């Protein structure tokens, strides 16, 4: 039993040494307007790009204007005090070296309420050029 525990411990330590990961702070920029009034077919599949070059240890890792994989979740405004909302889930971005940076973050923008509760709430809107800061994990 002690030998099995020792082997598992050694294997885990070796895997931790070789599978190093680095946390990177990246600024993303929207390149298309996103509205909660839009139909799903009207929304672009390419919503965000990397705003600035990303360097790791002095080497260029991701260049500016590299597309980012995202997924949108849009809810329209309805009556009885329900506002519209947009959620962008950031999945990842490809690096110049052929690797990938994975994100585990999202950005949510909600509409506003109107004065009278029986009216529709206002829809959410994300304009072009909105800067969003995210943290990504790069495994090298």
pTM (predicted TM-score): 0.73
Q: Please give the C-alpha separations between residue 33 and each of 36, 63, 71, 117, 125, in angstroms, as whole numbers.
A: 10, 23, 15, 28, 7
Average pLDDT value for the chain: 77
119 vs 73, more confident:
73
Quick one: average pLDDT of 5-10?
66
Would you list the DSSP string of 107-134? EEEE----SSTTSPPPPPEE-TT-EEEE
Q: 10-44: per-residue pLDDT in tens?
A: 655 555 544 567 778 888 998 888 777 766 555 66
Q: pLDDT at position 121, please?
A: 61
């Amino acid at each position: 039993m002690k030998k099995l525990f020792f082997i598992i411990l050694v294997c885990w330590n070796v895997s931790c040494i070789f599978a190093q990961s680095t946390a990177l702070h990246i600024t993303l920029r929207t390149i298309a307007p996103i509205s909660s009034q839009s139909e799903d077919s009207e929304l672009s599949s390419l919503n965000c790009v990397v705003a600035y070059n990303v360097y790791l240890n002095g080497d260029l890792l991701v260049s500016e204007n590299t597309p980012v994989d995202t997924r949108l979740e849009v809810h329209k405004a309805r009556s009885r005090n329900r506002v519209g909302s947009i959620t962008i889930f950031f999945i990842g971005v490809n690096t110049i070296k052929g690797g990938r940076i994975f994100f585990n973050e999202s950005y949510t923008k909600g509409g506003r309420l109107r004065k009278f509760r029986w009216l529709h709430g206002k829809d959410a809107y994300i304009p072009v050029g909105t800067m969003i800061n995210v943290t990504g994990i790069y495994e090298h």
